[in-house]
Chains A and B, each alone.
Chain A
Amino acid sequence: MTDVTPADAPVPMRDADRSTAWRGTAAVLRRVGLDGRSLVIAIPFVWLFVFFLIPFLVVAKLSLSEPAIAIPPYLPIWEWDGLRLILNLNFENFAYLWSDALYVNAYVFSIRVAFVSALFALLIGYPMAYFIARSPEPRRTLLLTLVILPFWTSFLLRVYAWQGFLRSNGVINNFLIWTGIIDTPLVMLQTNFAVYLGIVYTYLPFMILPLYANLVKLEESLLEASSDLGGRPLATFFHVTLPLSTPGIIAGFMLVFIPAIGEFVIPELLGGPDTLMIGRVLWNEFFSNRDWPVASAVAIAMLVVLVVPIMILRAAQAKAEAD
């Protein structure tokens, strides 16, 4: 090994030793194309490779294999008979998804639920985020803490708590009967309404936080300028506030829409038997049917379904931020 960079003369002896040792190591690393910068960047890449890409490839492999009554319950996709590699890719699982209306309906329904929920979260979250962003300082921190407060309780517990509110002898029905507004309890639990409610409730903070982060940066002077030039409050909102908060709206929408598509717990606990969201279908396929290949195909197809709206939203966000 040659000393690529000799130690500088005025450096004290001890430091010089240490830096020489480090420089030697750095020189070796550099020879294989690694410097401090690329090492730092490498960490998230390694993480994503180990915990995302490898599991994804496993699932992708599973989705192309043939189911079997065995442990594990599928056949390998390749065989080596000593001379030939026999690749056995089974696309039947995907064809099956397409042929059975159950899956297509579940996808369409999931996207609809996620979209409508994200829309409602936006309609409810926007005024809240706006109000918090415009609040004076001590109150603003308090309100933000209140938004995050539900996270201190388990998500599962909170969804269970909604059961207590929504069921026929639950809090809401009891109250309405007590006040005499209704005589027979309303059916709310195990309906699609309950699913929408649960998703909007659960994901609302994910809408509020990015919107808040965006709206808090909105300069007061821009609103004043609009008002000064004759813009009434509503005109100011639609011409200044709303366009400038587009990146926040898109970020919040993505944070609600994407996880809501694959949501399993909320439709399971609050939805009825006909609430067929894709997360639930996947769970049944995997645990009840033990059909791992089809379950994997459902997961892969869901990913494909998700990639398209994510790419559209990303492009819109990039454009909004460039403006």
Chain B
Amino acid sequence: MNQTVSVASTKPWIAGDAPPFVRIHKVSKKFGDFTAVDDVSLDIYKGELFCLLGGSGCGKSTLLRMLAGFETPTDGRIEIDGQDMAGIPPYGRPTNMMFQSYALFPHMTVENNVAYGLRRDGMGRAEAMERVSEMLRMVQLGGFAGRKPHQLSGGQRQRVALARSLIKRPKLLLLDEPLGALDKKLREETQFELIKIQESLGVTFIVVTHDQEEAMTLSTRIGVMNAGEIVQVGEPNEIYEHPSNRFVADFIGSVNMFEGRVTEDEPEYIKIDSAEAGGEIYVGHGVTCTLNQKLWYAVRPEKLRLSRERPAAASNAFPVYVEDVAYMGNSSIFQLKLPTGRYIRAAKPNLSRYDEDGITWHEDVWVSWDDTAGVVLTL
């Protein structure tokens, strides 16, 4: 996280005095009867690393392609750096794109691939090659200038694609699943490299991804998309700890969700009676709601605690039966069964290498959490 803090510290989306760099205003895109992007409005500021996060078919790629100019919005307007993009073809836009499949020209060497954008702008060969070798050094491909794309590994191709999309120093870089084709280890390394490059060049990045971890690591802000709509925009911790609706809570990370009704609505606290949980849930802060309103309570597995005795001070505690334990290395996931038959999950970090007395299979224990651990959702 500390990588993003320095960028996030400015937070122009909160200050509100700087004009947005990219303004997406009521944009829709229909393919026949199918609405891929539905009335999306979004402001993205200079220097941001903005992630569009969502499952496949949620419209995130279509939105990105409209920014690049490959698709024309059916409705609405897109402004980049104060300029209306309507009718401007891809080759006339101040954007560059890094494609999911990389789309490297197979008949050209690495060097010529990277130089392509400069050459199309009429730059002389000698000057272009100088810029290219500088860029290749930056992405650590100095010795690969003469290779063809098919002679490179997946990670090397990814870096060529990045170099090619950065060579023209675009104001806005669009990245479509930039790390999707890399294996896990390489992906994690490359994430930080990407942030470093973004910070050193000061380019605004818009990244499309379906990988929530990637979105969390990379971005200053995340826009979560579902069925063509933006369902929540916020900083990574905001999205994780304060999801605005059930879709976001469920999509990002894993969550235990209880449906219930408000039984006590006070300014300092509320109580939710949940048949699923098998009791009352105490929420230690006021919530805008009415008595007897149906709502949902979401609490993340790592916020739950397990104990053999009922914790005296806990505001929320329920008896559970340990049905399964999944050992993940750094943590263990407990599959717990409530007396109501509902399953919930709790995560416990494995702090000690020797935990012989730890809670394990087929035990009847207590699960408890703080009155601030969960989120009340009305949507």
Tell me if chain B binds chain A. yes
Binding site for B on A (CB under 8 A): 219, 221-222, 224-232, 235, 239-240, 243-244, 323
8 contacts between A and B (CB under 8 A): A219-B103, A221-B101, A224-B68, A224-B70, A224-B103, A225-B99, A228-B96, A323-B106
The CA-CA distance from A112 to B68 in the complex, in Å, is: 48
Q: Check A225/B103 contact, CB under 8 A, given A231-B116, A235-B120, A323-B148.
A: yes
Q: Check A229/B120 contact, CB under 8 A, given A222-B105, A224-B70, A224-B90.
A: yes
Q: Check A239/B99 contact, CB under 8 A, given A224-B70, A224-B90, A227-B89.
A: no
Within the complex, the shortest CB–CB distance from B170 to chain A, in Å, comes to 9
Interface size of B in residues (CB-CB distance below 8 Å): 24
Within the complex, the shortest CB–CB distance from A316 to chain B, in Å, comes to 14
Query: A243 — nearest CB in chain B belongs to which residue?
Result: B107
Q: Could you say which residues of chain A place their CB within 8 Å of the CB of B148?
A: 323
Q: Determine if B164 is an interface residue (Cβ-Cβ < 8 Å).
A: yes
The CA-CA distance from A228 to B95 in the complex, in Å, is: 8
Q: Give a binary string over B272-316; 1 marks a CB under 8 Å from any A CB, 0 the rest.
A: 000000000000000000000000000000000000000000000
- In chain B, positions 61-103 with a C-beta closer than 8 Å to chain A are 68-70, 89-91, 95-97, 99, 101, 103
Q: Check A226/B89 contact, CB under 8 A, given A221-B99, A244-B107.
A: no
Q: Could you say which residues of chain B place their CB within 8 Å of the CB of A235?
A: 120
**Apart from A225-B103, A229-B116, what 16 extra A-B contacts exist at CB < 8 Å?**
A219-B101, A219-B103, A222-B105, A222-B106, A225-B99, A225-B104, A225-B105, A228-B69, A228-B70, A228-B90, A228-B97, A229-B120, A229-B164, A230-B117, A230-B121, A244-B107
Indicate if the CB atoms of A227 and B91 lie closer than 8 Å: yes
Indicate if the CB atoms of A222 and B116 lie closer than 8 Å: no
The CA-CA distance from A225 to B120 in the complex, in Å, is: 12
Q: Determine if B168 is an interface residue (Cβ-Cβ < 8 Å).
A: yes
Dominant secondary structure of chain A at its interface with chain B: helix
Q: Could you say which residues of chain B place their CB within 8 Å of the CB of A244?
A: 106-107
Q: Could you say which residues of chain A place their CB within 8 Å of the CB of B164?
A: 225, 229
Q: Could you say which residues of chain B place their CB within 8 Å of the CB of A240?
A: 105
Among A222, A228, A323, max chain B CB count under 10 A is at A228
The CA-CA distance from A227 to B89 in the complex, in Å, is: 8
Q: Check A323/B107 contact, CB under 8 A, given A227-B89, A229-B117, A230-B120.
A: yes
Dominant secondary structure of chain B at its interface with chain A: loop
Q: Give a binary string over B111-126; 1 marks a CB under 8 Å from any A CB, 0 the rest.
A: 0000011001100000
Indicate if the CB atoms of A231 and B91 lie closer than 8 Å: yes
- In chain B, positions 46-71 with a C-beta closer than 8 Å to chain A are 68-70
The CA-CA distance from A111 to B371 in the complex, in Å, is: 91
- In chain B, positions 121-147 with a C-beta closer than 8 Å to chain A are 121
Q: Could you say which residues of chain A place their CB within 8 Å of the CB of B106?
A: 222, 244, 323
Indicate if the CB atoms of B120 and A231 lie closer than 8 Å: yes
Q: Which of B70, B89, B103 contacts A222 (CB 8 A)?
A: B103
Within the complex, the shortest CB–CB distance from A240 to chain B, in Å, comes to 6
Q: Could you say which residues of chain B place their CB within 8 Å of the CB of A226?
A: 105, 116, 120
Leading 5 A-B pairs by shortest Cβ distance: A229-B117, A221-B103, A225-B103, A230-B120, A227-B90
Within the complex, the shortest CB–CB distance from A221 to chain B, in Å, comes to 4
The CA-CA distance from A302 to B168 in the complex, in Å, is: 55
The CA-CA distance from A225 to B97 in the complex, in Å, is: 8
Query: A219 — nearest CB in chain B belongs to which residue?
Result: B103
The CA-CA distance from A219 to B99 in the complex, in Å, is: 12
Query: A227 — nearest CB in chain B belongs to which residue?
Result: B90
Query: A323 — nearest CB in chain B belongs to which residue?
Result: B107
The CA-CA distance from A309 to B99 in the complex, in Å, is: 41
The CA-CA distance from A229 to B117 in the complex, in Å, is: 5
The CA-CA distance from A232 to B69 in the complex, in Å, is: 13
Within the complex, the shortest CB–CB distance from A241 to chain B, in Å, comes to 11
Q: Check A230/B91 contact, CB under 8 A, given A221-B99, A225-B99.
A: yes
Q: Could you say which residues of chain A place their CB within 8 Å of the CB of B116?
A: 226, 229, 231, 239
Q: Could you say which residues of chain A place their CB within 8 Å of the CB of B96?
A: 228-229
Q: Could you say which residues of chain B place their CB within 8 Å of the CB of A323?
A: 106-107, 148
The CA-CA distance from A240 to B103 in the complex, in Å, is: 11
Within the complex, the shortest CB–CB distance from B216 to chain A, in Å, comes to 28
The CA-CA distance from A243 to B109 in the complex, in Å, is: 13
Within the complex, the shortest CB–CB distance from B277 to chain A, in Å, comes to 49
Within the complex, the shortest CB–CB distance from B128 to chain A, in Å, comes to 12
The CA-CA distance from A250 to B67 in the complex, in Å, is: 38
Within the complex, the shortest CB–CB distance from B111 to chain A, in Å, comes to 14
